[in-house]
């Protein structure tokens, strides 16, 4: 193992962030909230083009608050993309509601309008429509929002966009995360920009965002003594971390450019290999290529995605399978699931054959050449 470990998507921090953090220390504004939080919210909202934003301790917290704002409660059902990270749907359980999982379409790997339609038809027949639909935008790419929203609007069901992985991406020229009633971003350490840990809720509904702020700061009634009429949470982002976020937001466009260059290098070096296919970039939008994801056809490549992953691991290179779909998770085993084709699931296949490659914006050309050689060798020697 000659080389230093090459990570999937490590944090990429610059000097600007340090200045903002130093400012927070210099003014003793280390405690929760403060000027960086307010500025970060304004700057994020301006960047994505939403009327407002609330800075939170995580993307998961943002999803939780969005569900509660939409009145999701025990006994309700919520539709959610199946091919995603568990944080997309765990907050449904926090609220005591039941998720119903929707498959991906092959064109974008995101929620299938076909599957969504069938799920709505089935629920209409059983007499219970979902309270909300969580549409996830995977690996830097927006879902096909127009047909998805058309279906949801026809049933009058609001949409939460989980854009934790798609900050900076666009759909028909508009920012991913701004199409639903609420949008969610994450600034976790592995995301395209990071505050070490953090998230945000965006919306054009400023009143709802004010309510989210209230719940996220322990739902303290306006009284000098500590008085509570509603259940709250400790979900706000600290002023120090918001300082990091402000610096990171300023370099977001550079980070997107760098990730797309990483993707293009993989594509140029590997796309000629029969049976190795890249996650498509659907014509309706522009992906950030947060992670470069491929599928490996074992019949054509002679190796499985897992075997390539193991070969990379032996060279001290981190890679990951595509998300294990939620309908296959032990925790969600008994939840309803609607596949893209009536008899065939897309997300099962993507999970079985999918592989995410090191895609960090700080990945050097030399490091990437090592990754590429390792993949070529694993396939050539199969
Ligand atoms: C990272 C992620 C989240 C959760 O964000 P946190 O800030 O880590 O809580 C939610 N959904 C998706 C799809 C994610 O990738």
Distance CA 136, CA 44 (A): 19
With left for phi above 0 and alpha for psi between -120 and 50, is residue 198 left, alpha or beta?
A: left
In the block, tokens 């054009």 appear at 204
Distance CA 98, CA 111 (A): 18
Domain 15-251 of CATH type 3.40.640.10: yes
Q: Is 165 in the pocket of ligand 1 (CB under 6 A)?
A: yes
Q: From ligand 1's centre to the CA of 32, what distance in Å?
A: 22
| pLDDT tens, position by position, 334-362 | 999 999 999 999 999 999 999 999 999 99
With left for phi above 0 and alpha for psi between -120 and 50, is residue 149 left, alpha or beta?
A: alpha
Cβ neighbors of 4 (< 8 A, separation 6 or more) are 316
Distance CA 246, CA 237 (A): 12
What number does the ligand 1 atom closest to the CA of 199 have?
7
Q: What's the N-to-C CA distance of the chain in angstroms?
A: 21
With left for phi above 0 and alpha for psi between -120 and 50, is residue 372 left, alpha or beta?
A: alpha
What is the secondary structure of 113-150 as a DSSP string?
A: HHHHHHHHHHHHHHT---SEEEEE-GGG----HHHHHH
Residues of the chain with CATH 3.90.1150.10: 253-380
pLDDT at position 2: 59
Under DSSP, is residue 33 helix (H, G, I), strand (E, B) or coil?
Answer: coil
pLDDT at position 172: 98
Q: From ligand 1's centre to the CA of 192, what distance in Å?
A: 12
The three state secondary structure string of 291-324 is CEEEEECHHHHCCCHHHHHHHHHHCCECCEECCC
| Run means of pLDDT, 10 residues per run, the chain, 382 residues | 84 88 80 86 98 98 98 98 98 98 98 98 96 98 98 98 98 98 97 96 98 96 92 95 95 97 98 97 97 98 97 97 98 97 96 98 97 97 86
Residues of the chain with CATH 3.40.640.10: 15-251
| pLDDT tens, position by position, 165-196 | 999 999 999 999 999 999 999 999 999 999 99
Burial (CB count <10 Å: 0-12, 13-18, 19+), residue 298: middle
| Contact of 257 with 265, CB cutoff 8 Å | no
Q: Is 58 in the pocket of ligand 1 (CB under 6 A)?
A: yes
| Contact of 278 with 45, CB cutoff 8 Å | no
Cβ neighbors of 238 (< 8 A, separation 6 or more) are 30, 31, 32, 33, 37
Q: Is 136 in the pocket of ligand 1 (CB under 6 A)?
A: yes
Q: Is 354 in the pocket of ligand 1 (CB under 6 A)?
A: no
pLDDT at position 251: 95
Distance CA 107, CA 282 (A): 6
Cβ neighbors of 105 (< 8 A, separation 6 or more) are 111, 112, 113, 114, 115, 144, 340, 346
- Rg of the chain over Cα atoms, rounded to whole angstroms, equals 21
Per annotation, catalytic residue among 18, 42, 131, 191? 191
Mutation test residue for ligand 1: of 9, 11, 60, the one with most atoms within 8 Å of CB: 60
| Contact of 262 with 363, CB cutoff 8 Å | yes
| pLDDT tens, position by position, 311-325 | 999 999 999 999 999
Q: Is 345 in the pocket of ligand 1 (CB under 6 A)?
A: no
Q: Is 199 in the pocket of ligand 1 (CB under 6 A)?
A: yes
Q: Is 9 in the pocket of ligand 1 (CB under 6 A)?
A: no
Q: From ligand 1's centre to the CA of 84, what distance in Å?
A: 9
Q: From ligand 1's centre to the CA of 305, what distance in Å?
A: 24
Q: Is 59 in the pocket of ligand 1 (CB under 6 A)?
A: yes
Q: From ligand 1's centre to the CA of 194, what distance in Å?
A: 12
pLDDT at position 31: 67
Q: By alpha-carbon position, which residue is closest to atom 8 of ligand 1?
A: 188
What's the farthest any 2 CA atoms get from each other in the chain? 71
pLDDT at position 16: 86
Cβ neighbors of 63 (< 8 A, separation 6 or more) are 87, 88, 91, 134, 160, 162, 184
Sheet containing 199-203, strands listed edge to edge, beginning at the edge strand earlier in sequence: 52-56, 199-203, 182-186, 159-162, 132-136, 77-81, 98-102, 337-338
Mutation test residue for ligand 1: of 65, 85, 110, the one with most atoms within 8 Å of CB: 85
Cβ neighbors of 204 (< 8 A, separation 6 or more) are 50, 51, 52
The answer to whether 191 is a known catalytic residue is yes
Q: From ligand 1's centre to the CA of 141, what distance in Å?
A: 14
Q: Determine the CATH number of domain 253-380.
A: 3.90.1150.10
Q: Is 358 in the pocket of ligand 1 (CB under 6 A)?
A: no
Beta-sheet strands, E only, within the chain = 52-56, 77-81, 98-102, 132-136, 159-162, 170-171, 174-175, 182-186, 199-203, 276-278, 285-286, 292-296, 320-321, 337-338, 354-357
């Amino acid at each position: 193992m000659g080389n230093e470990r090459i990570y999937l998507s490590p944090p990429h921090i610059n000097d600007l962030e340090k200045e903002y953090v130093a400012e927070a220390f210099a003014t003793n504004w280390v405690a929760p909230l403060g000027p960086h939080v307010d500025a970060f919210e304004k700057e994020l909202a301006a960047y994505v083009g939403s009327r407002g934003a609330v800075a939170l301790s995580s993307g998961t917290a943002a999803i939780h608050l969005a569900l509660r704002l939409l009145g999701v409660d025990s006994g309700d059902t919520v539709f959610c993309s199946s091919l995603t990270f568990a944080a997309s749907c765990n907050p449904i359980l926090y609220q005591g509601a039941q998720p119903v999982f929707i498959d991906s379409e092959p064109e974008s790997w995101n929620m299938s309008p076909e599957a969504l339609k069938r799920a709505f038809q089935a629920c209409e027949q059983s007499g219970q429509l979902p309270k909300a639909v969580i549409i996830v935008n995977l690996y830097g790419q927006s879902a096909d929002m127009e047909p998805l929203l058309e279906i949801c609007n026809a049933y009058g069901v609001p949409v939460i966009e989980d854009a934790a992985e798609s900050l900076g991406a666009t759909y028909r020229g508009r920012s991913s995360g701004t199409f639903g009633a609420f949008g969610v971003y994450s600034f976790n350490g592995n995301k395209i920009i990071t505050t070490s840990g953090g998230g945000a809720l965006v919306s054009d509904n400023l009143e709802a965002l004010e309510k989210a702020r209230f719940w996220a700061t322990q739902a303290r009634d306006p009284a000098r003594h500590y008085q509570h009429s509603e259940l709250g949470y400790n979900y706000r982002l600290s002023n120090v971390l918001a300082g990091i976020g402000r610096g990171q937001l300023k370099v977001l466009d550079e980070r997107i450019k760098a990730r797309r260059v990483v993707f293009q290098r993989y594509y140029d070096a590997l796309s000629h290999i029969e049976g190795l296919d890249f996650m498509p970039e659907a014509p309706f939008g522009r992906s950030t290529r947060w992670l470069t994801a491929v599928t490996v056809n074992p019949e054509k490549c002679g190796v499985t995605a897992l075997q390539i992953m193991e070969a990379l691991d032996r060279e001290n290179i981190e890679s990951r399978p595509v998300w294990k779909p939620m309908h296959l998770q032990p925790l969600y085993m008994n939840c309803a699931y609607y596949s893209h084709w009536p008899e065939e699931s897309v997300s099962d296949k993507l999970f079985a054959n999918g592989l995410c490659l090191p895609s960090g914006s700080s990945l050097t050309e030399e490091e990437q050449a090592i990754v590429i050689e390792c993949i070529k060798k694993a396939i050539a020697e199969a």
